[in-house]
Amino acid sequence: MSEAVFSPAAGESSAVDPLPLTGERTVPGIAEENYWFRRHEIVYARLLQRCANKDVLEAGSGEGYGANMIAGVAAKVTGLDYDESAVEHVRAAYPRVEMVQGNLAALPFEDASVDVVVNFQVIEHLWDQAQFLRECLRVLRPGGELLISTPNRITFSPGRDTPLNPFHTRELNGAELSELLVEAGFRVDLMAGVHHGPGLAALDAKWGGSLIDAQIERALAGEPWPEELAVDVAGVRTDDFVLWSGDESGAWDPEIDASLDLVAIAVKP
């Protein structure tokens, strides 16, 4: 897997107003949001080359920074989002991305029309996850890949039946994600996880065992962040996260249940 790191705002026009931070999606360029942004960005960075010279659909493209990264290597990138404001933002900020507004439960594309579907940090927001995955299978060409990531329910909402995040409908563990993919008709070639690297592990220890909890505590308090915490969060880099890089012959990350986010590569037979 590629070890390159990419600028989140590459190709973005400085004249375009940023999307508001609502909690439903992450956006680049906000110091207090930097941890979450880099945690999302790591998956794009590590899987980017799987999109090289391919026709790519990003289903649920959000702010558009990821689709714009993909546009640097792909033959064509189409972004799809239900939110009209997000669609207009991407069209203005990232002209290399062809944007379509539509519903992920009924993808507005022909059968076997794309090589890769990218779906990062989106499936947990969907009410009918199985229907969405069937739609991904339909629009992929034979041998095409679905690249998908989602928060690991075990670590993201520990001990809960309902998600902590009010924008999430159903969170998954590794076994549940794999089961959904197989039932939709995919072959799962890799199930990996995003983990903290050494630098973030040190910050976890510094902030009472969890940098994440330290951030959430300050956000819920509605008070200014301690300067030291703000500096630490703003300094997080993409390479501070680790995406397990074992072989891609169906192996699972041995620490999958302890991972922060799940990352799967699923293939249409």
Contact in structure between 101 and 84 (CB atoms under 8 Å): yes
pLDDT at position 163, please? 56
Bridge partners for 92 per DSSP: none
DSSP for 201-268, written as a single string: HHHHHHTTT-HHHHHHHHHHHTSPPPHHHHHHHHT--GGGEEE----SSS-B-TTGGG-SEEEEEEE-
**Helix, coil or strand: residue 34:** helix
pLDDT at position 19, please? 60
pLDDT at position 20, please? 60
The whole-model pTM stands at 0.88
Q: Note the Cα 207 to chain centre separation in Å.
A: 25
Task: State which H helix or E strand residue 188 sits in.
Answer: strand 187-196
177 contact partners, CB below 8 Å, separation of at least 6: 148, 150, 191, 262, 264
pLDDT at position 157, please? 62
For 40-181, strand residue ranges (E) read: 55-59, 76-81, 98-101, 114-120, 140-151
Bridge partners for 150 per DSSP: 262
Q: How far apart are CA 213 and CA 159, in angstroms?
A: 16
For residue 103, the tally of other CB atoms under 10 A from its CB is 11
Bridge partners for 57 per DSSP: 78, 117
pLDDT at position 246, please? 57
CATH number of 31-196+242-268: 3.40.50.150
- Average pLDDT of each block of 10 consecutive residues along the chain (269 residues)? 37 56 69 92 96 97 94 98 92 96 96 98 91 98 97 77 68 94 96 96 96 88 90 96 69 88 96
Contact in structure between 93 and 16 (CB atoms under 8 Å): yes
Every domain of the chain and the residues it spans: 31-196+242-268
Q: How far apart are CA 237 and CA 4, in angstroms?
A: 12
20: which DSSP letter?
Answer: P
17: which DSSP letter?
Answer: P
Q: How far apart are CA 118 and CA 253, in angstroms?
A: 20
Q: How many residues does the chain have?
A: 269
**Helix, coil or strand: residue 200:** helix
Measured in degrees and rounded to the nearest 5, phi and psi for residue 222 equal 65, 30
Which tokens hold the place of 254? 């041995």
Among the listed residues 146, 150, 147, 145, the one whose alpha carbon sits nearest the alpha carbon of residue 121: 150
